[in-house]
């Protein structure tokens, strides 16, 4: 296990770095609870997530989070005792951050499955922050249609209110729904969250620091994960996902990207690279990457999507 803290203040990091093999050795003596069939259902548009990766990386991670959740419950109970109040169970909230196309949804879906298999947290819900993007009409009105995914393209107050309500134990909390096919918020659709044991909040900007002393979403998290990889690799995953979507979702009549399904492949992929270069990469550099050091844990992925090391916050 490599200590990544050095004596030079410029290199000071709050993390301890654990390489893949050392991390895999931490795997609990629990059999991988997922079957190959379940795993196939969890896969996004990639095909490399295998059972070995689940056992080596994500199973130990789910165990660590399970320990944090038990710790948070104990602390909560002790605080209620101290105040002479009856302890109310509050959901444990996890944030999953990282670039567009780095694999956040895949990590979040996998964790939802794994965490729900621990007996003390059977109900795990997942929400993506894209539901809190302003509708296209509002982005147009604000002149930021080409900034989708940047912090200002979200209704951050609404998102904060939503997570606060879930965390304070509300019976039922509703969120808007964003469709990647329609490329917009769907007016008559919603996501409903009902008192989960764990809520996973996945999105590009979930680790943004508070603005001007106000409460930020990141203040409500009990555990945060930053999914990290080389920018060049992420760009390739983004373009590859676009290429696969051309043959699937983009062929649907109501797809915003319908024109790309029939377009010459080179031209379509050139468009994807342009979106990466002008929107997603600048957002990664300006807004997302700077939040990495705020995470509780960083998953570093190699070009093949396999996690090569894990950085865990120790201070």
Ligand X SMILES: CC(C)(COP(=O)(O)O)[C@@H](O)C(=O)NCCC(=O)O
Number of residues this chain uses to bind ligand X (CB under 6 A): 11
Q: Does 228 bind ligand X (CB under 6 A)?
A: no
Binding residue for ligand X, selected from 129, 218, 224, 309, defined by CB under 6 A: 129
The torsion of the CA quartet 24, 111, 51, 99, rounded to 10 degrees, works out to -90
Select from ligand ADP, ligand X, none the partner in contact with residue 129, using the beta carbon and a kind-dependent cut-off of 5 to 8 Å: ligand X
What distance in Å separates the CA atoms of residue 308 and residue 272, rounded to the nearest whole number? 27
Q: Provide the greatest CA pair distance for the chain.
A: 68
Candidates 17, 56, 130, 197; binder of ligand X (CB under 6 A) is 130
Q: Which is nearer to ligand ADP, 46 or 209 (CB)?
A: 46
Which range touches ligand X (CB under 6 A), out of 1-9, 114-122, 126-134, 294-302? 126-134
Task: Give the residue ranges of the annotated binding site.
Answer: 98-105
C-beta closer to ligand ADP: residue 90 or 236: 236
CA–CA distances in Å: residue 110 to residues 16, 96, 106, 223, 304: 24, 12, 6, 16, 17
| 291: partner contacted, choices ligand ADP, ligand X, none (Cβ within 5-8 A by kind) | none
Q: What sign does the dihedral 283-201-310-294 (CA atoms) show?
A: positive
Query: Which one of residues 45, 275, 293, 308 is an interface residue with ligand X (CB under 6 A)?
Result: 275
Exactly one of 109, 112, 148, 156 binds ligand X (CB under 6 A); that residue is: 148
The region of 213-221, 272-280, 291-299, 302-310 touching ligand X under the rule CB under 6 A is 272-280
Judged by beta carbon distances under 5 to 8 A according to partner kind, the member of ligand X, ligand ADP, none in contact with residue 300 is none
In order of 184, 204, 258, 264, the CA distances from 253 in angstroms are 15, 28, 7, 18
Q: What tokens appear for 77 in the block?
A: 């109970």
Q: Which residue's CB is nearer to ligand ADP, number 102 or number 207?
A: 102
200 binds ligand X (CB under 6 A): no
Strands 198-202 and 92-98 come out as parallel
Q: Which helix (H) or strand (E) holds 93?
A: strand 92-98
Residue nearest to ligand ADP (CB): 46
Element (H, E) at 70: helix 59-83
Show Cβ contacts of residue 19 under 8 Å, excluding neighbours closer than 6 positions: 1, 2, 308, 309
Choose the contact partner of 106 out of ligand ADP, ligand X, none; CB within 5 to 8 A by kind: ligand ADP
The interface partner of residue 196, options being ligand X, ligand ADP, none and the CB cut-off 5 to 8 Å by kind, is none
Nearer to ligand X, 60 or 149 (CB): 149
Category of 212 on φ-ψ map: left (φ > 0), alpha (ψ -120 to 50) or beta: left
**Hey, how many other C-beta atoms are within 10 angstroms of the C-beta on 158?**
13
Q: CA 48 to CA 237: how far, in whole Å?
A: 12
- Asked if 128 touches ligand X (CB under 6 A), the answer is yes
* Site residues (vs ligand ADP, CB under 6 A): 44-46, 48-49, 98, 100-106, 237, 241, 305
User: Under the rule (CB under 6 A), what is the footprint of ligand X?
Assistant: 100, 128-130, 148-149, 203-204, 275, 279-280
């Amino acid at each position: 296990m490599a200590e990544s803290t050095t004596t030079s203040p410029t290199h000071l990091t709050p993390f301890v770095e654990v390489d893949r093999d050392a991390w895999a050795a931490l795997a609990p003596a629990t059999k991988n609870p997922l079957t190959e069939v379940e795993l196939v259902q969890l896969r996004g548009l990639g095909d490399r997530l295998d059972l070995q990766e689940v056992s080596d990386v994500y199973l130990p991670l789910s165990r660590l989070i399970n320990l944090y959740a038990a710790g948070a419950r104990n602390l909560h109970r002790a605080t209620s005792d101290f105040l002479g109040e009856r302890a109310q169970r509050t959901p444990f909230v996890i944030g999953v951050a990282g670039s567009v196309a780095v694999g956040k949804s895949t990590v979040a879906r996998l964790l939802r499955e794994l965490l729900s298999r621990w007996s003390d947290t059977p109900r795990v819900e997942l929400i993506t922050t894209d539901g809190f993007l302003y509708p296209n009409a509002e982005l147009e009105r604000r002149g930021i249609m080409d900034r989708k995914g940047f912090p200002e393209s979200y209704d951050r107050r609404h998102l904060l209110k939503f997570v606060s309500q879930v965390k304070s134990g509300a019976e039922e909390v509703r969120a808007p729904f964003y469709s990647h096919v329609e490329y917009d918020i769907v007016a008559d659709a919603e996501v409903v969250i009902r008192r989960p044991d764990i809520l996973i909040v996945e999105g590009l900007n979930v680790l943004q620091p508070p603005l001007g002393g106000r409460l930020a979403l990141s203040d409500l998290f009990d555990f945060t994960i930053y999914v990290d990889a080389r920018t060049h690799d992420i760009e390739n995953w983004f373009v590859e996902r676009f290429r696969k979507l051309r043959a699937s979702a983009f062929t649907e009549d109501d797809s915003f990207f319908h024109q790309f399904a029939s377009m010459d492949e080179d031209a379509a992929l050139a468009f994807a690279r342009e979106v990466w270069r002008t929107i997603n990469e600048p957002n990664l550099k300006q807004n997302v990457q700077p939040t990495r050091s705020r995470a509780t844990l960083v998953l570093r992925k190699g070009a093949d999507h396999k996690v090569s090391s894990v950085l865990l916050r120790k201070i």
